[in-house]
Amino acid sequence: MECKVYTLNAFTKQSKGGNPAGVVLQSDFLSDEQMQTIARKVGFSETAFVQHSKVADYMIRYFTPVQEVDLCGHATIAAFQLIRQTGVGNGIYKIETKAGILEVVIESEYIYLSQALPTFDKVIEPDEIVQSLYILETDLNLEFPIQIVSTGLRDIIIPIKNKEILHNIQPNFQEITTISKKYNVIGYHLFTLDTERVIASCRNFAPLYDILEESATGTSNGALTCYLHKYKALGSGSYLFVQGEAMQQSSLIITRLLVNTHDSVDRIEVGGTAGEIQIQHIEI
């Protein structure tokens, strides 16, 4: 049997860069094993499978090349860019995911995914993390902690002192895998505030899921936005993040943060644009 898979880059920057995702529409007929096979053969960090839902407008399941994950920001942006081509207009749509029922907002060329409200978990001592990145503790921005944060997927958020250090990091992926298993996280999300015209420049490593480095990670930047709010660096507003520069795959991620009068997060959205649609035919 042959399956049609649409591929496109999400979080593009001036129609370039971004993070490639696979999308399969009307995928209810596929078994879990077939979806995993397709994701492995497509080979991107995530492939999204759009299905019918009894409680939302769509259900979306997300598979990396090695296993299913609860949520993926860039694959959702890619899926809705494709859905929009079928005639779906601007508006708010609900999606059923394993991270809960979330909203997708289509506004002109931009697509935004709401995320779960943030949870803040363990603060990790620097010495454990810096060894896996082959850096020194003095290479960290010590104004911020290393902490596990989630808006749907758990990541270790790691503050780096400046852009030069960030882009020169050559990590120990085996050690990151070990630490990711230990703390039950997807991977590392590194950032620096040493930037111009954007809030932060980021890198993301998730070797536990066979993703050595990812050029745009929506969920991680949503978590990072909430983390920066917690530590008094951001309030309500829209913010730009750049990721993938070290991969020569520069990507632009927009986050929108709404904070209430009690200084708690009421809503976090991650959005961007998606590029040209291509088609693969995968034998399963």
Q: Which residues are catalytic?
A: 46
What are the DSSP calls for 161-218, one per residue? S-HHHHHH----HHHHHHHHHHHT-SEEEEEES--SSSSEEEEEEEGGGTEEEES--H
Residue of 79, 234, 222 whose CA lies nearest to 155: 222
Kindly compute the dihedral angle of the four CA atoms of residues 223, 228, 232, 237, in this order, to the nearest 10 degrees: -80
Between the alpha carbon of residue 251 and those of residues 77, 122, 248, 274, the distances in Å are 13, 29, 9, 10
Tokens 């590392």 -> residue: 188
Q: What is the DSSP string of 125-139?
A: -HHHHHHHHT--GGG
The DSSP 8-state label assigned to residue 13 in this structure reads: B
46: nearest Cα among 25, 27, 73, 26: 73
> How far, CA to CA in Å, does 53 sit from each of 97, 114, 239?
10, 18, 32
Bridge partners of residue 49, in order along the sequence: 24, 61
Q: Tokens standing for 97?
A: 């995911």
